[in-house]
């Protein structure tokens, strides 16, 4: 008689033996459920599917025609045959598949077609974004500004990616004989399209970029990443920004597009300006999701949204940040901004021992815990906040001094 335990053990071992191998190159993930349920729209494409995760969805069918039209123009621009791109991409099929979380249920031909169609679309889209002269009169995307912005937003979604090395491969094939574009490089083209100032950061030359979301994160990383490592957890989040301001902290809005570069020096809290636009929340959420999946011990963006969430307790804190020019172009009310930051941090995890802003928190709390700093703040805010109150305060002090002197003189005269 067969032992049921032996049969069960054999069945489990068979399942283990048939498990697909895990790739160390995985970098394109599906959004974790705990993050997606907070705001699904921020992670879902609105107009175009890139990569395998949303491929085949009927609502993106119209853009498949645009991909083919962009491919036609791209082939004309590059003067190379379609077969060149297909054969080159197929050679890197395994490496590209390994970039995605879980097995991709596409044949080799379908997967290669996806890489070439989606990759060439992104390159052609960037070329048209960079130069208006390249936009055809009948372009269905760029002649409707809202559509081009929606496509750009979709290209920044974690679930909507193709590996960056595939994009570089296709670009290099296209411009192999074009010295100008070849020298320019796809990395510089991406900078011109995704970065506000369009400048090419020098540290990108030594950085392996995984995909467009990783490109954005890499750009925004602070200059000294080593500061994220701390030996202790003896810190606490500071009070809300209005409490810090009333405790003597001076707020300074820095014109630095690297929004992670927050510093506290000599009583001044430097926070880079944050331009809130329609797609800001989506971009922040996808950067957070990518870090949660890929960089759990180097979660700079996660730490940023948690730190900002700690500063924004209510609408009053938002108003302080807006009045000091730190939050710009808010598309909604103060209550909307408050909800944005409190919701972005929901479902995230972080390490207290490697929190990037731990030292900023320590120094803020120490500064606010000094009575003299609060007294100075009261004087500045209540008595020297504007020229008229300053004049009134000085006049009152002079009058008090004169009164004391007069009283003293009267006492002296009485004694004699």
Average pLDDT over residues 321-336: 81
Higher pLDDT, 229 or 213: 213
Instruction: Tell me whether residue 397 is in a domain.
Output: no
Q: State whether 103 and 209 are in the same domain.
A: yes
For the ranges 225-229, 280-284, 293-297, 408-412, the lowest mean pLDDT is seen at 225-229
Pick the most confident of 92-101, 201-210, 374-383. 92-101
Average pLDDT over residues 279-288: 94
End of a domain among 167, 188, 220? 220
Instruction: Tell me whether residue 329 is in a domain.
Output: yes
pLDDT band at 372 (very low <50, low <70, confident <90, very high): very low
pLDDT band at 369 (very low <50, low <70, confident <90, very high): confident
- pLDDT(166) > 80: yes
- pLDDT(332) > 80: no
For the ranges 36-50, 133-147, 209-223, 385-399, the lowest mean pLDDT is seen at 385-399
- pLDDT(248) > 60: yes
End of a domain among 196, 220, 244? 220
Q: State whether 206 and 233 are in the same domain.
A: no
Q: State whether 148 and 118 are in the same domain.
A: yes
For the ranges 183-187, 234-238, 412-416, the lowest mean pLDDT is seen at 412-416
Q: State whether 188 and 274 are in the same domain.
A: no
| Chain segment 85-140, per-residue pLDDT in tens | 999 999 999 999 999 998 899 999 999 999 999 999 999 999 999 886 678 888 98
- Is residue 122 a contact partner of residue 162, using CB atoms and an 8 Å limit? yes
Q: State whether 69 and 161 are in the same domain.
A: yes
Q: Is the CA virtual torsion 243, 246, 250, 253 positive or negative?
A: positive
Instruction: Tell me whether residue 399 is in a domain.
Output: no
Instruction: Tell me whether residue 21 is in a domain.
Output: no
Instruction: Tell me whether residue 7 is in a domain.
Output: no
- For residue 406, the model assigns a pLDDT of 67
Read off the tokens for 263.
């510093």
Higher pLDDT, 203 or 113: 113
Q: State whether 212 and 328 are in the same domain.
A: no
The pair phi, psi for residue 282, each rounded to 5°, is -60, -45
End of a domain among 163, 196, 220? 220
- pLDDT(247) > 80: yes
d(C-alpha 169, C-alpha 209), whole Å: 13
- For residue 393, the model assigns a pLDDT of 54
Percent of the chain with pLDDT over 90: 55
- pLDDT(11) > 70: yes
Read off the tokens for 6.
């032996």
Give the closest residue to 150 by CA, choosing from 164, 162, 160: 160
Q: Is the CA virtual torsion 180, 181, 187, 190 positive or negative?
A: positive
Q: State whether 48 and 191 are in the same domain.
A: yes
- pLDDT(176) > 80: yes
How many structural domains compose the chain? 2
Q: State whether 112 and 197 are in the same domain.
A: yes
Domain ranges, residue 311 = 227-372
Non-local CB neighbours of 24 within 8 Å, separated by 6+ positions: none
Instruction: Tell me whether residue 101 is in a domain.
Output: yes
d(C-alpha 374, C-alpha 244), whole Å: 9
- For residue 196, the model assigns a pLDDT of 79
- For residue 384, the model assigns a pLDDT of 47
- pLDDT(231) > 60: no
- pLDDT(233) > 80: no
Instruction: Tell me whether residue 8 is in a domain.
Output: no
Non-local CB neighbours of 49 within 8 Å, separated by 6+ positions: 55, 56, 57, 60, 63, 160
- For residue 416, the model assigns a pLDDT of 59
Q: State whether 286 and 159 are in the same domain.
A: no
Q: State whether 41 and 172 are in the same domain.
A: yes
- For residue 32, the model assigns a pLDDT of 94
Q: State whether 214 and 249 are in the same domain.
A: no
- pLDDT(375) > 50: no
Q: State whether 271 and 160 are in the same domain.
A: no
- For residue 278, the model assigns a pLDDT of 84
- For residue 225, the model assigns a pLDDT of 57
CA distances from 269 to 238, 261, 262, 321 (A): 12, 11, 7, 12
CA 343 to chain centre: 15
Give the closest residue to 309 by CA, choosing from 233, 214, 237: 237
- pLDDT(221) > 50: yes
Instruction: Tell me whether residue 407 is in a domain.
Output: no
For the ranges 55-59, 176-180, 213-217, the lowest mean pLDDT is seen at 176-180
């Amino acid at each position: 008689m067969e032992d049921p335990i032996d049969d069960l053990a054999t069945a489990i071992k068979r399942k283990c033996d048939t498990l697909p191998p895990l790739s160390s190159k995985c970098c394109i993930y599906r959004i974790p459920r705990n993050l997606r349920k907070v705001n699904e729209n921020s992670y879902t494409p609105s107009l175009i599917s890139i990569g395998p995760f949303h491929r085949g969805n009927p609502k993106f069918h119209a853009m498949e025609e645009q991909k083919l039209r962009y491919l036609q123009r791209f082939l004309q621009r590059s003067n190379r045959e379609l077969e060149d791109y297909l054969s080159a991409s197929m050679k890197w099929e395994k490496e590209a598949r390994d970039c995605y979380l879980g097995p991709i249920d596409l044949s080799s031909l379908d997967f290669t077609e996806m890489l070439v169609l989606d990759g060439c679309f992104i390159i052609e889209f960037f070329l048209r974004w960079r130069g208006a002269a390249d936009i055809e009169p009948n372009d269905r995307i760029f002649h409707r500004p809202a559509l081009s912005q929606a496509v750009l937003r979709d290209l920044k979604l974690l679930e909507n990616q193709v590996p960056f090395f595939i994009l570089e491969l296709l670009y290099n094939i296209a411009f192999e004989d074009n010295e100008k574009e070849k020298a320019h490089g796809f990395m510089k083209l991406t900078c011109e399209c995704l970065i506000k100032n369009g400048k090419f950061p020098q540290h990108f030359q030594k950085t392996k970029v995984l995909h467009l979301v990783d490109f954005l994160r890499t750009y925004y990383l602070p200059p000294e990443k080593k500061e994220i490592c701390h030996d202790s957890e003896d810190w606490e989040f500071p009070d809300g920004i209005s409490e810090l301001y009333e405790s003597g902290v001076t707020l300074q809005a820095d014109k630095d597009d690297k929004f992670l570069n927050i510093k506290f020096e000599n009583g001044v809290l430097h926070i880079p300006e944050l331009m809130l636009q329609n797609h800001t929340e989506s971009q922040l959420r996808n950067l957070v999701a990518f870090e949660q999946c890929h960089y759990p011990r180097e979660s700079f963006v996660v730490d940023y949204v948690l730190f900002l969430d700690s500063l924004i307790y209510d609408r009053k804190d938002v108003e302080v940040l807006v009045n000091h020019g730190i939050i710009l172009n808010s598309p909604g009310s103060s209550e909307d901004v408050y909800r944005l930051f409190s919701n972005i941090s929901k479902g995230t995890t972080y390490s207290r021992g490697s929190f990037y802003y731990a030292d900023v928190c320590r120094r803020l709390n120490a500064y606010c815990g000094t009575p003299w700093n609060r007294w100075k703040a009261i004087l500045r805010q209540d008595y020297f906040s504007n020229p008229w109150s300053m004049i009134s305060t000085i006049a009152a002090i002079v009058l008090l001094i004169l009164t004391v002197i007069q009283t003293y003189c009267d006492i002296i005269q009485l004694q004699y």
